[in-house]
Amino acid sequence: MKPRDDSMSAMAAAPAAREIVVPPEYRVLPASVPFYIPGFEKQRYPQSFAFAPEAVECDVWFERFTGRVLQAVGSTYLPVCRMSDGEFLLLFGYQPPSVRHPLLRRWKIRLSQARHMIRQRFVGFQAQTAPGVSSGAMSHAERKAFTPALSSRYLEIARDGILALHLGYGTTPFQEQYFPAVREWLKQHNVILTLDNYAPFYFVYGLLRGPVFSDLIGGRRVLIVHSATGPKRETITRSIQSANPRGIEWLPISPSRSFADTLDLSRLHDKPDLCLLGGGVGKSALFPQLRPLGIPCLDAGFSFEVWADPDKQWDRPYMSPDPSFDPARVGFGTAAERRQMRS
């Protein structure tokens, strides 16, 4: 079982949310708020929630998040890094399946985990953000050697910038089995999440794929840290150019070993105003290397795949804003959710 990077249930607008009960040990933060993103209201689902440090409306929280990023452009180092099941699996290993799964389903998951744990001893850790697109590969020995440093880098981001943690949940369990481990990890390292240093995972995609993107990019010098080459790089560049940046420059990294990459900032021709990076599960190693630039550095993740191939916007939630959203083309969510979305 290879970890998915960023898939969740998302559905059309509906009535007020009905709370879903999760076990107390899963409650990473004290508040639970109905989740939505302004500009993506057609994907709002009444039983989608996110843990929050305090009660807050998501439109207010999203504006606070985007405002902080926009204010930092060109002037302040602000790392913004997403963490979901792939990153959680790398840091914490396989966790007991969600207790919200039926017992038989939990047994099957445990059996699958056991097989993959044995396999990883021989072939190492491998993750994909999409079929054929690696988000990380390391040997068993490398994982043991590098994971403590990668964990420390994520914690630094919580102190210096914004961790976009996937602490959302809905009717069907996805990545919530990691919540107790995340809670303990934060507690052990004395990291207190607030509305400023934590944002929901999908807020980053809402910024990069929604109407605010033109405000972020327009007239700015953009640095892209990514492994794309050839036609894929050219297509990504053209997609971002549609937001009218002042310029775009690339720093290449390896396709699957960002945890060991060294960035050569001396290659840059101009000082960028912001950085978009895609480094898979080892990306936390890249952020400290970008600190000298003194700019916001955004973990763009699957957005790069959509910029390279617009048809992929239907494979993940919050990749298509309301004006272009077509429920008939959606490929994420369960079959029942897709039928309801199209009704």
Q: Flag the least confident range among 35-49, 122-136, 167-181, 210-224.
A: 122-136
**Would you state the structure tokens that stand for residue 9, as one six-digit string?**
């249930």
Domain containing 79 equals: 24-320
Residue 326 lies inside a defined structural domain of this protein: no
Tens of pLDDT, residue by residue over 210-260, are: 999 999 999 999 999 999 999 999 999 999 999 999 999 999 999 988 999
- Predicted confidence at residue 4, as pLDDT, reads 41
Residue 256 lies inside a defined structural domain of this protein: yes
Residue 330 lies inside a defined structural domain of this protein: no
Residue 8 lies inside a defined structural domain of this protein: no
Work out the percent of the chain whose per-residue pLDDT is above 90: 76
Average pLDDT over residues 181-191: 97
Tens of pLDDT, residue by residue over 143-156, are: 899 999 999 999 99
Residue 12 lies inside a defined structural domain of this protein: no
**pTM for this prediction:** 0.91
Residue 339 lies inside a defined structural domain of this protein: no
Helix (H, G, I), strand (E, B) or coil at 154: helix
**Helices (H) then strands (E): counts for the chain:** 11, 12
Which stretches within 212-328 are classed as H helix?
Answer: 212-217, 230-241, 287-290, 303-308
- Edge to edge, the sheet with strand 78-83 lists 198-200, 162-165, 78-83, 296-299, 274-277, 221-226, 247-252
- Predicted confidence at residue 54, as pLDDT, reads 97
Return all residues near 343 (Cβ < 8 A) that are at least 6 apart.
none
Residue 333 lies inside a defined structural domain of this protein: no
User: Does residue 14 have a pLDDT over 50?
Assistant: no
Number of domains composing the chain: 1
Amino acid making up residue 80: V
Q: At what angle do helices 85-92 and 179-188 cross, to 10 degrees?
A: 60
- β pairing state of 133-138 and 125-130: antiparallel
- Predicted confidence at residue 18, as pLDDT, reads 67
Residue 332 lies inside a defined structural domain of this protein: no
- Predicted confidence at residue 131, as pLDDT, reads 67
